[in-house]
C-alpha cells in the first residue's frame, strides 16, 4: 500500500448555516480543512496510508485541527506545534446566482511562519512513495516557498513521485510571483493538476476560446494547455479539471488527462451542489489513489472525477466517501437510488 505525504496548511473553517450571509449568522459551523489536508483525508478514506505535514499553534484550536485529521485516519505524527495562530477561513455557501464567498484570515498562521530546516524531511519521507503539495502553500510566503522547495527536492531525491495541484490564489500572490516560484518547484514535479484557470494565471498558458464564466468549454484548447504543461516541465501526466459554472447550485464537472501519449476525457457530471469547497482536492486525492493502485489512465481519471463529483454533495472540506462508493459511481450508477 502506497504511503503518501502531503504538506500545507490546515485552517479552521467557519461557515454560516442554511445559506445565511455573514451579517445574519448567530452561529458558525466548525470544521477544518485546506488543500493538502483534504487530499490526505481522501487517501485515508480509500484505505491508503496518508500523512499530513504542517505546523499548528500549541493551543486547543491547533489540537482540534489535529484531532479532525486523526478522526478520519490521517497520520498526524509529523505535525509541529508552535507559532502564533491557526489560520481561519470564513465561508458563506452560495445559492443560485449568489456565489459562495470566502473571507480568509490566514495571515500570521503558524504554518506561514515555518523556516527551512524545521521539518525533518528525511524522516518524514522514509518509507513513503508519493509527495503532494499545491500552489497555495508556496504562496503563503517566501519562507514557506523555501520549505516547499526543500520538501520537493528531498522527495525527488528519495525517489518519491511528486504531484502538484497548481491552485492559483490571486489574494496570496501575483501571477509574476507565482510564476517565478512555481517554475522552480515544477522542476521536481511528476504530475501536475490544474483547473481551467491555473495554467493561464501561473504560467501564462491560455486555453483557446473558452469562457468559463459562461460555462463554455473548448476541449481542444485544454488539450493544448495540457500538452504545453507536460512538455515545458517534462511531466509524466497532466490533469485538468473542467468546471462549467451555470450557477452556485448547478455545475458541470469533468476532466482531461494527458500522459504524453494519449488524451483521456472523462464522463461529465451535472451536479446540484451541496458544498463545492474541496472539489478540486477530491479530484487530486482520487487521482493519486488510482495511480498508486495501478489503475489504467482512463480508469484513474474516471475514479478522480467520480470522487470529486461526490465531494460536491458532502458538507465540509473533506471527501467522506469510500473506494466502493466511488467505484459504483464511476461504473455508471448515478441514479441516486436509496442504498438499503
- Catalytic one of 75, 165, 198, 281: 281
Q: Which is nearer to its own copies, 78 or 263 (CB)?
A: 78
Question: Which one of 58, 180, 208, 274 is in contact with its own copies (CB under 8 A)?
Answer: 274
Contact window for its own copies (CB under 8 A) among 81-89, 150-158, 219-227, 288-296: 81-89
- Annotate each residue in 162-201 with x if it binds its own copies (CB under 8 A) or - if it does not, as one string: -------xxx------------------------------
**Phi, psi for residue 175 in degrees, rounded to 5:** -55, -35
Find the shortest distance in angstroms from Cβ 318 to its own copies.
Answer: 8
Question: Which one of 18, 159, 176, 261 is in contact with its own copies (CB under 8 A)?
Answer: 18
Q: 68: helix, coil or strand?
A: helix
CA-based torsion, 157, 158, 159, 161: positive or negative: negative
Find the shortest distance in angstroms from Cβ 170 to its own copies.
Answer: 8
Supply angle C-alpha 289, 291, 294, rounded to 5.
110
- Annotate each residue in 308-327 with x if it binds its own copies (CB under 8 A) or - if it does not, as one string: -xx-xxxxx---xx---x--
Residues 128 and 95 sit within 8 Å (Cβ to Cβ): no
d(CA 38, CA 192): 17
Interaction between residue 90 and its own copies (CB under 8 A): yes
Interaction between residue 58 and its own copies (CB under 8 A): no
Burial class (CB in 10 A: 0-12, 13-18, 19+), 142: exposed
Q: Residue 281 catalytic?
A: yes
User: Residue 249: CB partners within 8 Å, gap ≥ 6?
Assistant: 95, 96, 272, 273
User: Residue 186: CB partners within 8 Å, gap ≥ 6?
Assistant: 164, 192, 232, 233, 235
Contact window for its own copies (CB under 8 A) among 114-122, 256-264, 283-291, 330-338: 330-338
Residues 14 and 91 sit within 8 Å (Cβ to Cβ): yes
Contact window for its own copies (CB under 8 A) among 57-65, 122-130, 173-181, 234-242: 57-65
Find the shortest distance in angstroms from Cβ 246 to its own copies.
Answer: 7
Q: How many residues does the chain have?
A: 340
- Annotate each residue in 129-168 with x if it binds its own copies (CB under 8 A) or - if it does not, as one string: ----------------------------------------
- Annotate each residue in 211-250 with x if it binds its own copies (CB under 8 A) or - if it does not, as one string: -xxxx-----------------------------xxxxxx
Interaction between residue 60 and its own copies (CB under 8 A): yes
Burial class (CB in 10 A: 0-12, 13-18, 19+), 118: middle
Q: Which is nearer to its own copies, 136 or 154 (CB)?
A: 136
- Which residues are bridge partners to 269 per DSSP? 253
DSSP codes of every residue in 161-174? EEEEE----TTT--
Alpha carbons within 13 angstroms on the beta-carbon side of residue 106 total 26
- Kindly list the catalytic residues: 281
Amino acid at each position: 500500500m502506497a504511503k503518501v505525504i502531503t504538506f500545507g496548511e490546515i485552517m479552521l473553517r467557519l461557515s454560516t448555516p442554511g445559506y445565511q450571509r455573514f451579517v445574519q449568522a448567530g452561529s458558525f459551523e466548525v470544521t477544518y480543512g485546506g488543500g493538502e489536508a483534504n487530499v490526505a483525508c481522501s487517501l485515508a478514506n480509500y484505505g491508503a496510508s496518508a500523512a499530513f505535514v504542517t505546523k499548528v499553534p500549541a493551543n486547543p484550536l491547533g489540537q482540534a485541527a489535529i484531532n479532525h485529521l486523526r478522526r478520519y485516519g490521517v497520520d498526524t505524527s509529523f505535525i509541529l506545534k508552535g507559532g502564533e495562530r491557526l489560520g481561519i477561513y470564513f465561508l458563506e455557501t452560495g445559492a443560485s446566482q449568489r456565489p459562495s464567498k470566502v473571507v480568509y484570515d490566514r495571515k500570521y498562521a503558524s504554518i506561514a511562519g515555518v523556516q527551512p530546516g524545521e521539518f525533518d524531511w528525511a524522516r518524514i519521507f522514509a518509507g513513503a512513495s508519493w509527495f503532494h503539495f499545491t500552489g497555495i502553500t508556496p504562496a503563503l510566503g517566501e519562507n514557506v516557498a523555501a520549505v516547499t522547495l526543500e520538501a520537493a527536492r528531498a522527495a525527488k531525491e528519495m525517489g518519491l513521485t511528486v504531484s502538484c495541484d497548481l491552485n492559483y490564489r490571486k489574494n496570496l500572490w501575483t501571477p509574476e510571483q507565482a510564476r517565478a516560484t512555481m517554475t522552480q518547484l515544477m522542476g521536481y514535479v511528476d504530475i501536475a493538476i490544474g483547473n481551467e484557470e491555473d495554467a493561464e494565471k501561473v504560467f501564462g498558458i491560455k486555453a483557446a476560446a473558452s469562457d468559463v464564466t459562461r460555462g463554455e468549454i473548448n476541449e481542444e484548447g485544454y488539450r493544448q494547455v495540457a500538452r504545453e504543461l507536460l512538455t515545458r516541465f517534462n511531466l509524466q501526466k497532466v490533469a485538468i479539471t473542467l468546471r462549467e459554472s451555470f450557477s452556485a447550485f448547478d455545475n458541470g464537472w469533468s476532466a482531461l488527462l494527458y500522459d504524453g501519449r494519449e488524451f483521456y476525457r472523462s464522463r461529465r457530471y451535472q451536479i446540484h451542489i451541496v458544498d463545492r469547497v474541496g472539489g478540486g482536492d477530491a479530484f487530486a486525492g482520487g487521482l493519486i489513489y488510482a495511480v498508486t493502485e495501478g489503475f489504467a489512465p482512463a480508469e484513474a481519471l474516471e475514479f478522480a472525477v467520480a470522487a470529486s463529483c461526490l465531494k460536491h454533495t458532502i458538507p465540509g472540506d473533506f471527501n467522506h466517501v469510500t473506494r466502493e462508493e466511488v467505484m459504483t459511481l464511476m461504473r455508471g450508477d448515478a441514479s441516486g437510488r436509496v442504498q438499503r
